[in-house]
Structure 1
Amino acid sequence: MVEAIENRWAFLVGINHYRERQQFPPLNFCVSDVEAVQTLLQQVGYTTVCLHDGLDYSEPRFPEAKNIRAELQSLCSKVGPNDLLLVYFACHGTRQGDGQPRLIAWDTRSINLDETAIKVRDVEDWLRASAAKRLVLLIDACHIGTGKGGRSLADQEFVRQVYELAEGFHLLAASTDQQQAWEKSGHGVFSYHLLQGLSGAADLEGKNFVSVNDLKRYVQGGIARWSVESGYEQRPAGQSDGDLGDMILVDYRQRSRPDVSSLLGVTSQVAEVARGAEKVAAVERPISSSQRRFYQNSLTRKQEELAALEGQLGAEINAMDELKLTRQIEILLQQIEKLEQQLR
């Protein structure tokens, strides 16, 4: 017998940087995406497991492929039949090789994708093998894609039967299998709308909860509008099966809604970056001649420091030193970018 949701669990993975930097260019906002989603979900009662490359390399939740597999399989073994399990990835995705959608881990090797990347099919299999009857898979990566009636929502038995007792498997991916998934202004475009929707914006009917279908409609509609306005092509893809009703993802009937502005990154830069190739449009700012000299001198020093670090990175070093240098380079690149913006 299906019961109301007992526990809500979330497994979150965000990866900005990759060991093979040439094959998998760095992304900007995957870590901030998962941290914001984690904060929101914890506020509405989820127990979360979060892996991202802002953690120390020695941490068991650093997003190497083996850690992702082990942590997800461990969580799947713990959830109960009346639980909801939500899994969310923000990272590079690919269909290279045999055409199967794969998620790129920190240590994925392009020459051996079959063993070192995470197959979306495997993630789905692990979820379905768990005891949980309510499964949601959200993927903000490139190339992955895959009932209202006449009853009143004031009817509590209707809410119970259609929402609280709903079960099934739902997948929502950031783009179709032929498209890029873009980043913009502090978050992935998909993740930005995801955060807005989960915080309550997707509740267009005033139910005080957000269901899976609410979220799908909100994210798909929001990205469609963004795509028209920006000129960048992105269309979310979804899949559902085995569902009996429309399960509740976040419930605000007995708790206040979070302040989504505190979760979303704020930046003066307007940037479109594919979880893939990069295209940046900077905001122009007038500066004085003295400010310009200061910024130019600072930029020169930062560029010299960057060249020195890149030289060290080209030498034979171990994985830990490589990771530390990569993070230092990331910080320098961000500083250089800000200085270049000021000089434009």
Structure 2
Amino acid sequence: MARLFTGVVIYSFFVFLIMTPLKAKPSDKSKTKQNKYGIALIIGNKNYKDGVPPVDYAHNDAAAFKRYVIDILKFRERNIIYLRDATKANLDSALGTHNNVEGEVQSFVREGKSDVIIYYSGHGVPGVKSKRGLLLPTDATSNNAELVGYPIDQLYKNLSKIGAKSVTVFLEACFSGGSEGGMLIKNASPVFTRIEAPKSNLGITILSATSKAQLASWDNNAKHGMFTNYLLQGLYGAADQGEEGNKDGKVSLLEIKEWLNEEMTYNVKRQHKRRQIATVIGEENLILASVSPGRQFKPIQAFEKKKTVARAQRGAYQTPTISPSARASLNIHESYKSYGILPIKLKGKRCVPCENILIASLEGLPDAKILRGANARKADVVVSSFLSRLNVTQEANDAYASAKVMSGMFGAVLGKNIVDHIDRSTPPSFNIFDVELMLTAKDKNLGVSETARGIYFDRKDARQPKQSNTVKGINSVFRQAAERLAVRLMGGTPPPIKSAAQIRKQWEDKDQNAQNGNWSEDNND
């Protein structure tokens, strides 16, 4: 009886808090809303054939730019087309051809609503005969570049016809016929092609690494292209907050241009003793990004000893300690690895979204190649999953009886709206979701394995749909286990996770605090 009386008093106090005017919290204007219609095509072409030198940091560039698009621009990951080592067929499929603009990018666009971003890191070459700038697919050779290269002017023309709200193109490439690794065209003197500005009525914004006959330089310290390294620093906020910026919390095209001219050009001269000036075309007052306080670009080198994932960061992991035994096992840092994802099945049906979560985490590993389907078992490292626990049980809510008593005693005084609020916020019972997953990655050549576990233990109002919360739990354990596995495969140690017993103890402590009149913690169940 004493406990019931205490509950009534506490709920009365709770109602008093609801009816007392609260001081509105200041809005966080710096928080960027999700750009649910934004579309991005991100290409990193590193590995070429027939003696064409590789672009050492193209994969790093693409991964970092994808992280920017998700974290800062808030694009949905499902709206990002991410290509590594794209072939001629890949480029045509994504961007369309000279007589058909209906590529994959165009199919993603919501007419008049989608902001479209194209990012390319890889070789560019000049057409020896046509003098056109060409993006070089990875299946090109030094002798057929002009035949299979994707023309820059065709890129602009196709993008102008897809019906997008805006189009911005970023090119980490030069079109001089040379590269950091050597000449790209055999048996020919250097031929220099300048990127042509699109016609004014095309409405396309362009940022390219070089001007005229310059080489696109690499930053060997950051392990990125120079252009990409300083471009992303600027887009994360340095261009607005630096000496040339107006510090209004927004990064404009003019600020990026001045930032690149100041920082990129200087550092190329200092490191490589040559000149490189970015090409910037578009309206100078165009806003490219909003500054997120506390966020700054970190080169790929800063992530080599951390877990890296293609999705928006979900939490701060401590920097893993790399042990010699870990390096000797899977050796991710020193060698190229392919990862085979065995089909994931739930209740006898293949779960493609679960596989995609796992792939998104493994794609963050340096130079990782992902295989799925029939080729999965041919990979260097085979990844399998085991859903060890999937239970949903129901438990009564001890606070429900107190809430009903208070509603009956004070309903006439409090009014129907308050009573309804109490009924909605105090469920008669909870559904307890208990899910556990194990992921195992086995290196077939070395005969060693790494495992990672994911746990989801939560309680939800039993009146809510059980199915949707079950799906949420499954997605959560796959994401948690996948991120932890990525850390382990890089030789690191992920932080410990809470067990079901520890989480239940937190519930009990919070419930006890509430019964004792301590409302310092919000009840988010």
Q: TM-score normalized by structure 2?
A: 0.41
Counterpart of 1:112 (choices 144, 150, 153) is: 144
Mean CA deviation greater in 39-48 or 26-35: 39-48
State the partner residue of 1:265: 301
* Pair 1:200-2:237 in alignment: yes
- The residue matched to 1:89 in structure 2 has which SS? strand
* Pair 1:34-2:62 in alignment: yes
Counterpart of 2:105 (choices 75, 86, 102) is: 75
Post-superposition Cα deviations, 1:116-149, rounded to whole Å, max 9, x if no partner, equal: 1111111111210111141111111122643xxx
Q: How many equivalent residue pairs? A: 231
Distance 1:27 1:6, change over 3 A: closer
Q: Which amino acid aligns with 2:288?
A: L
Q: Which amino acid aligns with 1:182?
A: S
State the partner residue of 1:236: 278
Counterpart of 1:211 (choices 248, 252, 268) is: 252
Aligned partners of 1:109 and 1:117 also within 8 Å: no
Post-superposition Cα deviations, 1:82-132, rounded to whole Å, max 9, x if no partner, equal: 322111111011114221101111111333333311111111112101111
Post-superposition Cα deviations, 1:62-97, rounded to whole Å, max 9, x if no partner, equal: x11111221232112332313221111110111142
Distance 1:171 1:145, change over 3 A: farther
C-alpha separation between the residues in 1 aligned to 2:239 and 2:37?
A: 22
Larger radius of gyration: 2
Once the two structures are superposed, the pairs formed by residues 226-305 of structure 1 within 5 Å of their partners are 226-230=267-271, 231-240=273-282, 243=283, 246-252=285-291, 256=293, 258-261=295-298, 263-266=299-302
C-alpha separation between the residues in 1 aligned to 2:94 and 2:48?
A: 19
C-alpha separation between the residues in 1 aligned to 2:136 and 2:112?
A: 30
C-alpha separation between the residues in 2 aligned to 1:9 and 1:215?
A: 21
Gap runs ≥5 in structure 2:
1-34, 96-102, 176-192, 196-201, 305-334, 336-374, 380-525
- The residue matched to 2:160 in structure 1 has which SS? helix
C-alpha separation between the residues in 2 aligned to 1:126 and 1:257?
A: 38
C-alpha separation between the residues in 2 aligned to 1:112 and 1:177?
A: 23
C-alpha separation between the residues in 2 aligned to 1:32 and 1:235?
A: 22
- The residue matched to 2:164 in structure 1 has which SS? coil
Q: Which amino acid aligns with 1:9?
A: I
Gap runs ≥5 in structure 1:
54-62, 147-166, 269-301, 303-319, 325-344
State the partner residue of 2:117: 86
C-alpha separation between the residues in 2 aligned to 1:8 and 1:211?
A: 18
C-alpha separation between the residues in 2 aligned to 1:267 and 1:183?
A: 18
Q: Which amino acid aligns with 1:238?
A: V
C-alpha separation between the residues in 2 aligned to 1:194 and 1:181?
A: 13
C-alpha separation between the residues in 2 aligned to 1:137 and 1:12?
A: 10
C-alpha separation between the residues in 2 aligned to 1:8 and 1:267?
A: 26
C-alpha separation between the residues in 2 aligned to 1:12 and 1:257?
A: 25
Distance 1:27 1:35, change over 3 A: same
* Pair 1:191-2:216 in alignment: no
Q: TM-score normalized by structure 1?
A: 0.61
- The residue matched to 2:118 in structure 1 has which SS? strand
Aligned partners of 2:160 and 2:203 also within 8 Å: no
Q: Which amino acid aligns with 1:197?
A: G
Higher relative contact order (CA 8 A, sep 6+): 1
State the partner residue of 2:88: 65
Mean CA deviation greater in 115-124 or 208-217: 208-217
C-alpha separation between the residues in 2 aligned to 1:102 and 1:238?
A: 18
Q: Which amino acid aligns with 1:224?
A: T
State the partner residue of 1:272: none
Post-superposition Cα deviations, 1:228-272, rounded to whole Å, max 9, x if no partner, equal: 3231221112333xx5x73322224xx5553422x442599xxxx
What's the CA shift for 1:215? 1.9
Aligned partners of 2:226 and 2:268 also within 8 Å: no
- Aligned CA-pair RMSD: 2.8
